[in-house]
Amino acid sequence: MDETLDLRGLKCPLPAMLAKKALAPMRSGAMVMVIADDPLAVVDIPHMCHGEGHAVENMTSRDGYTEFVIRKTRAITSDSASAIPRPAPDDGSHRPR
């Protein structure tokens, strides 16, 4: 495990936001264990991982908290951000009459 985040006592959306922040500078393949006791974390953290392209390798319910093992599966770079298709600028030729 590259890092463990004990986020017990924090409420939605902080566990997901802090997990995202911790994963951001890590290399692809890094593993993070997140411990959270907010009931919404079981929804928020997997949702954040899906949106960011990370993998939830394991999610274990314990007595009063949940442990998430997250693997960073990609690194966001400026090159990949520039590959997002953008709509063409409006040249005025498609205006309604």
Say what the pLDDT of residue 93 is: 60
**Average pLDDT, whole number, for the chain?**
86
CA distances from 20 to 8, 12, 63 (A): 16, 13, 25
Cα–Cα distance, 45 to 37 (Å, whole number): 12
Least confident of 19-23, 38-42, 83-87: 83-87
Provide the CATH number for the domain formed by 3-75 in this structure.
3.30.110.40
State the catalytic residue, choosing from 2, 3, 8, 12: 12
Q: Is 49 a catalytic residue?
A: no
Cα–Cα distance, 54 to 72 (Å, whole number): 5
Question: Once rounded to an integer, what is the mean pLDDT over residues 23-35?
Answer: 96
Question: pTM of this prediction?
Answer: 0.75
Does 67 have pLDDT greater than 70?
Answer: yes
Say what the pLDDT of residue 86 is: 54
Say what the pLDDT of residue 48 is: 97
Strand order across the beta sheet in which 55-61 lies:
3-6, 31-36, 66-71, 55-61
